[in-house]
Chain A
Amino acid sequence: MNKFETFTGIAAPMPLVNIDTDMIIPKQFLKTIKRSGLGVHAFDEMRYDRQGNEVADFVLNKPQYRETSILVAGDNFGCGSSREHAPWALADFGIKVVVSTSFADIFFNNCFKNGMLPIVLPQEQVDLLMADAEKGENARMTVDLEAQEITTSDGEVVKFEVDAFRKHCLLNGLDDIGLTLEKSDSIAAFETQAAQARPWV
């Protein structure tokens, strides 16, 4: 996994609440056996008409948002299906950060596994960033994970919280499986104990 480095990018506003993972990547694109190449299909049913033409007023189709790397979204972003194709599609599009008041649990977890940072902020700060994002391509925000800060285009600084272990993994591009396999002894000890306590499992 690539290390998560401080970057400055365009933020797009998506104020709709309850954007679900079916919206982020509809089922017809789940038939792939690869992780890559889904960016072109992100938000497919909102982004294209039936003939495959772009819907002009969808935010990511507007000229000033085509290079978006930060989404500022409504409540409960990523609800519904566990499909990791949702963060794969967003990452492939170029999204590195999603900001919302709340995220669905599985989507939130899936982001970290793909080098993406979901940031939870209180409503008034999401409102502030949403207003900044509305400005279009001049609204370049800077996200600094080490310092846990977002800096708006006006130079305002918004602090955010992040789980220390997940921060460490993102900053260092660490592979979860490798880390867990270092604890193989603990797993083996647990299996021995569990086999005695619950032999039927």
Chain B
Amino acid sequence: MSPKTLYDKIWDAHVAHEAEDGTCLLYIDRHLVHEVTSPQAFEGLRMAGRKVHAPEKTIAVPDHNVPTTAGRENPDQMPEESRIQVAALDTNAKEFGIHYYPVTDIRQGIVHIVGPEQGWTLPGMTVVCGDSHTATHGAFGSLAHGIGTSEVEHVLATQTLIQKKSKNMKVEITGQLSPGVTAKDIVLTIIGETGTGGGTGYVIEYCGEAIRNLSMEGRMTICNMAIEGGARAGLIAPDETTFAYVKGRPHAPKGAQWEAAVNWWKTLYSDDDAHWDKVLTIRGEEIAPTVTWGTSPEDALPITATVPAPEDFTGGKIEAARRSLDYMGLTPGMKLTDIEIDTVFIGSCTNGRIEDLRAAAEILKGKKVKDGMRAMVVPGSGLVRAQAEEEGLADIFKEAGFEWRLAGCSMCLAMNPDQLSEGERCASTSNRNFEGRQGFKGRTHLVSPAMAAAAALTGKLTDVREL
């Protein structure tokens, strides 16, 4: 048998039909659904008189629109349009008989945090959702990617996707990380190297000692941002860390099925002599705490660097950099550590898990945020929130001057009331620093949770290693 990559193996195990030109029907094991990209898909089913093909494999949770403030069970807290979207998801979940976690359920949260937490996401699966950050689930060695609403409807109706295979790319992070360097810094550094289009047409497998040493939370952070490098999906081969995380989760296999599953999962790795279409290797020791200066995730630099000038780039990036600097209100040559911050946001499907909150709390313990700083923590799920309260993290955040919110996507994409105002500058643990992403003319610097906490204390982008 010819050697295969991890991606090849998962792909081969899910092809339900292959046409002569290589167009495949890929079978989907888990379909996650949220309120923003699904209403038109359910409406399409209804108009065609179709059913959901596999409701038992379909899981819905409202996350993008929901308020994160107390009393949100009362729908009046939401603007009318948001209320209609969430109500539509309520109705569709009931009518089509799919699994559902409403805001009143403690298990509600960001769809990409809820899936793994409940054991819906397992190694070797295919997972899709009408959300680009579905890549997150690749951390389990499952082939996971975002789809558009037409494809949501296609999966609902057929449990398959029409796909052609992507190419294989390997990103290896060798050696050890330095203190203060986290998964977020790794992935920002990778995107800084490849650019936001560098992964287009590929599925990326992240490997190497520094990746192996990451927890599941850290691995999810890395895979979450595979899409920011343009890749269809990110993958990390499952190992004992993965199995330990999955074991005992509500929807994980049990007993004899658990043994059978683990036996198969242990075959899910790239063969030594597998073919790679592209390879990138980065030394873990060379990665520093990393921040973005511009309006694309590829605008990532070590915190010790200075703001670049448009002339430092070539081609179309020169004009893009000029536009970014103008939008961000930054001057070339200034130190990144001189950039003053108004707001800190800790949360999102990138960095809203328990380990992220622990890392931030570690920096904040016994300290206060800078006067005038607006700081908020939005746990990724109700269960993350409850655990953080039990561990005393919530008290640390509150005593430091952070708002302690309810779970949701919140200021990562600012569809709910958590938004930046014009010119407001935010150190954010989210995944996109696009123009207007966190609010009209708001300015976003992407950072790790520890770096976000450090910025909250000093009021500037700060090298967490110097605190």
Contacts and interface: CB of A to CB of B under 8 A. Distances in A.
A162 interface: no
A200 B122 contact: yes
Interface in A99-138: 102-106, 109-110, 113-114
A147 interface: no
Interface size class on chain A is 35 or more
Contact of A114 (B15, B37, B150): B150
A82 B146 CA distance: 6
Contacts of B277: none
B355 interface: no
Given A31-B85, A79-B230, A165-B19, A23 B197 contact: no
B257 interface: yes
A111 B171 CA distance: 29
A6 interface: no
Interface stretch (B151-159, B367-375, B381-389, B454-462): B151-159
A123 to B, nearest CB: 9
A188 to B, nearest CB: 9
B193 interface: no
- The interface centre, meaning the residue of B13, B36, B50 with most chain A CB atoms within 10 A of its CB, is B36
A84 B440 contact: no
A194 B147 CA distance: 23
Contact of A163 (B81, B149, B151, B164): B164
B260 A183 contact: no
Q: Which of the listed residues B57, B132, B201, B232 has the most CB atoms from chain A within 10 Å of its own CB?
A: B132
B158 A177 contact: yes
B81 A32 contact: yes
B85 A33 contact: yes
A16 B131 CA distance: 25
Interface string A20-45: 10110011101111110000000001
Given A76-B197, A201-B29, A180 B154 contact: yes
A198 B264 contact: yes
Contacts of A15: 316, 319
B250 interface: no
B43 interface: yes
Contacts of B116: none
A180 B160 CA distance: 8
Interface in A61-110: 74-76, 79-84, 87, 102-106, 109-110
Interface in B82-116: 82, 84-85, 88
Contacts of B145: 106
B85 A76 contact: no
Contacts of A187: 16-17, 25, 27, 158-160
A30 B316 contact: no
A198 B145 CA distance: 21
Interface in B9-29: 13, 15-17, 19, 21, 23, 25, 27, 29
A187 B298 CA distance: 40
Contact of A183 (B17, B48, B317): B17
Nearest to A187: B16
Interface stretch (B284-292, B346-354, B430-438): B430-438
A18 B230 CA distance: 11
B162 interface: yes
B40 A33 contact: yes
Contact of A199 (B21, B48, B230, B260): B260
Interface string B298-330: 100000000000000001110110010000000
A169 to B, nearest CB: 9
A5 to B, nearest CB: 21
B320 A177 contact: no
Contact of B150 (A20, A79, A113, A197): A113
B288 to A, nearest CB: 24
Given A18-B320, A27-B414, A180-B160, A201 B122 contact: yes
A33 B88 contact: yes
B200 interface: yes
A10 to B, nearest CB: 22
Contacts of A84: 37, 40, 130, 148-150
Contacts of B164: 163
A186 B16 CA distance: 6
A161 interface: no
Contacts of B189: none
A117 to B, nearest CB: 15
Nearest to A74: B316
Given A15-B316, A187-B25, A201-B122, A75 B197 contact: yes
B434 A20 contact: yes
A171 interface: no
A201 B125 contact: yes
B17 A102 contact: no
B58 interface: no
A16 B319 contact: yes
B448 interface: no
9 contacts: A32-B81, A50-B422, A106-B148, A164-B21, A165-B21, A180-B158, A186-B25, A187-B27, A198-B124
Given A26-B440, A33-B85, 16 more contacts: A20-B296, A31-B84, A33-B39, A33-B43, A45-B436, A83-B148, A103-B200, A106-B145, A106-B147, A109-B148, A177-B157, A183-B16, A183-B17, A186-B17, A190-B15, A198-B124
Interface of A: 15-18, 20, 22-23, 26-28, 30-35, 45, 50, 74-76, 79-84, 87, 102-106, 109-110, 113-114, 163-165, 176-177, 179-181, 183-184, 186-187, 189-191, 194, 197-201
**Nearest 4 A-B pairs (CB), nearest first?**
A200-B253, A113-B150, A84-B148, A31-B81
